Amino acid sequence: MGRGACASGFGTIMLILNGKEVEALLAGRELEMVRLVGSAYETHARGNTMLPQSTFLRFPDNKKNRIIALPAYLGESFGVGGIKWISSFPANVDNGLARASAVIILNSLENGRPEALIEGSLISAKRTAASAALAAQCLHLNDTVLANGIIGCGPINFEIVRFLNVVFPERRSFIIHDQDPARAALFKKRCETTFDRVEVETSSDLAGVTRNASLISFATSAIEPYVSETEGWIPGSTILHVSLRDLSPEVILASDNVVDDIDHVCRAQTSVHLTEQRVGTRDFIRCTLADILMGQAPPRRSRDDLVVFSPFGLGVTDLAVAKTVYELARKEHLGTFLESFFSDS
């Protein structure tokens, strides 16, 4: 069966969706994805998920490269199981390729067969951005400075800009920084040509962002902390620590810390993990974002504290978005259906 065909008997047919198809299906659905991610967090907090630890495949001759497997099951209204297999090769950008590439496989919960193979890097970027935007909605109370800060001018932060524009339509001013000035210039141009009414200013250093923006997203390829102090940062700032390894233990210990899952984020040498190793406890983590969503914890410890959201990136959030993509593709007859994928087809 070919592209766009209507398929029945999904226990034997594989649906394949490429990146362009995923992009088309998710266009304009930012608020829906924010709600999906929030629901996935709450479902996970209620214990209606299975979420094994992510498995990191690393390479002895290049510590920056990795491929990660994130298997998961998401219950309740989602009813979906599968796995994301995502690579991160930072040097790709020097060769005109994206740093990350991924596939998501959804398995039937009736017979275990894979029923969808979906390009996953865009889903991964959008669920990450949805998570960051959701955290910003919950945590950010400082409205005295309306600029948003962007550290790292790659695809993840571009999606975060997209989602922040939707959840905070009045905050459309951005201060951006990247170690590569040319990359920052391209990011600025892309933002200005893609989004309406945005103002983007580049900063030659990180301090130009932290001293002028109170909502800041870190999405870099850093493999170890390089930010060791917060002098001059705006009181009450909210840090979306998406890349997880930018902040030193000193910064983490001085902050109000919120995470997506305590066990998951305290591994793989994240800043939170390094802090746990330093002090021998996890008491510096106040709560999860789900605790706040469900009214079990206040949004912030103090209005003037620096609050840091460190999301490890849970596979259940990928599945929440991927399931929606799968259902939309079936409804719109989009994608390629293979009847002969399995040996007993």
Q: How much is the pLDDT for 9?
A: 47
pLDDT at 10 over 80: no
Q: How far apart are alpha carbons 243 and 264 in whole angstroms? A: 14
Over residues 139-160, the mean pLDDT reads 89
Over residues 193-213, the mean pLDDT reads 96
- Residues pairing with 104 in the sheet: 84, 118
Per-residue buried b or exposed e for 190-207, using 16+ beta carbons within 10 Å of the residue's own CB: ebeeebeebebebbeebe
Q: Give how far Cα 230 sits from Cα of 206, 208, 245, 256, Å.
A: 11, 12, 16, 13
- 296-331 pLDDT per residue, tens: 999 999 999 999 999 999 999 999 999 999 999 999
Cβ within 8 Å of residue 266, ≥6 positions away: 272, 273, 276, 282
Q: How much is the pLDDT for 248?
A: 98
Q: How far apart are alpha carbons 54 and 312 in whole angstroms? A: 10
Over residues 267-275, the mean pLDDT reads 97
Give the neighbor-by-neighbor strand order of the sheet with 256-259.
199-202, 173-177, 147-151, 215-218, 238-241, 307-310, 256-259, 285-288
Superfamily (CATH H level) for 130-314: NAD(P)-binding Rossmann-like Domain (3.40.50.720)
pLDDT at 259 over 50: yes
Over residues 31-52, the mean pLDDT reads 98
Q: How much is the pLDDT for 339?
A: 84
Q: What spatial distance separates the first Cα and last Cα of the chain, rounded to whole Å? A: 12
Q: Comparing 144 with 206, which gets the higher pLDDT? A: 206
Q: How far apart are alpha carbons 43 and 73 in whole angstroms? A: 11
Per the prediction, the chain carries an average pLDDT of: 94
Q: Which residue has the tokens 């902040």?
A: 247
Q: Which of 91-100, 124-133, 209-218 has the lowest mean pLDDT?
A: 91-100
Over residues 14-25, the mean pLDDT reads 97
Q: How much is the pLDDT for 1?
A: 44
- 130-148 pLDDT per residue, tens: 999 999 999 998 666 678 9
Cα Rg for the chain, rounded, in angstroms? 20
Q: Which of 24-28, 32-36, 71-75, 110-114 has the lowest mean pLDDT?
A: 110-114
Q: Which of 1-15, 161-175, 197-211 has the lowest mean pLDDT?
A: 1-15
The answer to whether 108 touches 316, Cβ cutoff 8 Å, is: no
CATH number of the 14-123+316-338 domain: 3.30.1780.10
Percent of the chain with pLDDT over 70: 95
Q: How far apart are alpha carbons 244 and 252 in whole angstroms? A: 11
Q: How far apart are alpha carbons 323 and 116 in whole angstroms? A: 9
pLDDT at 112 over 70: yes
Percent of the chain with pLDDT over 90: 86
Over residues 95-103, the mean pLDDT reads 91
pTM, rounded to two decimals: 0.93
CA angle, 227 then 243 then 85, to 5°: 155
Domain chopping of the chain, boundaries: 14-123+316-338, 130-314
- Model confidence at 96, in pLDDT bands (50, 70, 90)? confident
Over residues 198-209, the mean pLDDT reads 97
Q: Which residue has the tokens 């959030």?
A: 317
Q: How much is the pLDDT for 104?
A: 98
Q: How far apart are alpha carbons 49 and 79 in whole angstroms? A: 10
pLDDT at 198 over 50: yes
